[in-house]
Amino acid sequence: MESVADALGRCVLFEGSSPQERAVLASLARRRRYPRGETVFREGDPCTGLYVVEDGRVKVRVTSPEGKERILALLGPGDVLGELAVLDGGTRCADVVAQEECTLIFLDGEEFREFLRGHPEASVRLLRLLARRLRSADLQLHDAAFYDVRGRLARTLLRLASEHGEEVEGGILCPRLSQAEVAHLIGATRESVNTWLGRFERMGLLRRREGRWVVVDPDRLRREAY
């Protein structure tokens, strides 16, 4: 297994950081392993620190009082979670659950804030990350307001392929998600997602591979997104 310092170097928050910076952070960090389905933290929990995904994936979700779930994001290796509550000292604003077995690197909140005070360039990188998150949230609102299920599904599959996919023979393999999870991700019913996945498959835009979807023709799928 690679060192914590090397793993932090692959994190979007610490790209371009010096070896000295990463060594300081690594001395503060702790690795935590989560099996698939285990909750990392829940909405409303006090914030104790931030996490960096070293391997595996987690899903960020919110749940309505009626029990309806909405997946806000999937995060994989190099992504950061919990950074907002670290800055404002508030509580967690969503649940984070291990989508698959994963390793997270934990940084204590107070220790991380002290690190930022001594490393202003790291604060700039954090601002860039927050801007990226805000842009992603705006994009989700835009999709919900202006696209039907077909368009939202096509756009989401393209994002999954771009951000989390892996090149395989004949296309780009998306991460493993159930139809219900895809529905929670785009704000639709499982039945409507099932209908459009089937149509995209018959059109030759997607194919199944061991329970996962392969985007076969991104250009044609992109045309379905508009």
* Interval 61-70: pLDDT, tens: 998 888 888 8
- 25: exposed, middle or buried (C-beta count within 10 Å: 0-12, 13-18, 19+)? buried
Burial bucket for residue 74 (CB in 10 Å: 0-12, 13-18, 19+): buried
Local structure of residue 206 (DSSP, 8 states) = E
Place of tokens 């790291």: 122
Q: In this structure, what token pair is assigned to residue 217?
A: 């023709």
Is the model's pLDDT at 183 over the cut of 90? Answer: yes
Taking each helix axis from N to C end, the angle separating 190-202 and 179-186, rounded to the nearest 10 degrees, works out to: 110
At residue 156, does pLDDT exceed 70?
A: yes
* Residue 212 backbone class (left: φ over 0; alpha: ψ -120 to 50; beta: rest): beta
User: How confident is the model over 18-35, as a mean pLDDT?
Assistant: 91
Burial letters 126-164, b for 16+ CB under 10 A, else e:
beebeeeeeeeeeebeebeeebebbbbbbbbbbbbbeeb
Place 204 in a pLDDT band, splitting at 50, 70 and 90: very high
For the chain, the helix, strand and coil percentages under 3-state DSSP, each to the nearest 5? 45, 25, 30
Nearest CA to 162 out of 170, 154, 174, 144 is that of 174
Q: How confident is the model at residue 172 (pLDDT cuts 50, 70, 90)?
A: very high
Tell me: pLDDT of 210 over 90.
no
- Count the alpha carbons within 13 Å of 179 in the hemisphere toward its beta carbon: 11
* Structure-block tokens of residue 134: 């805000």
Residue 168 class from Cβ within 10 Å (0-12 exposed, 13-18 middle, 19+ buried)? exposed
Average of per-residue pLDDT across 59-87: 88
Asked if residue 108 has pLDDT above 80, the reply is yes
Amino acid at 56: G
**pLDDT at residue 1 greater than cutoff 80:** no
CA distance 158 to 165: 9
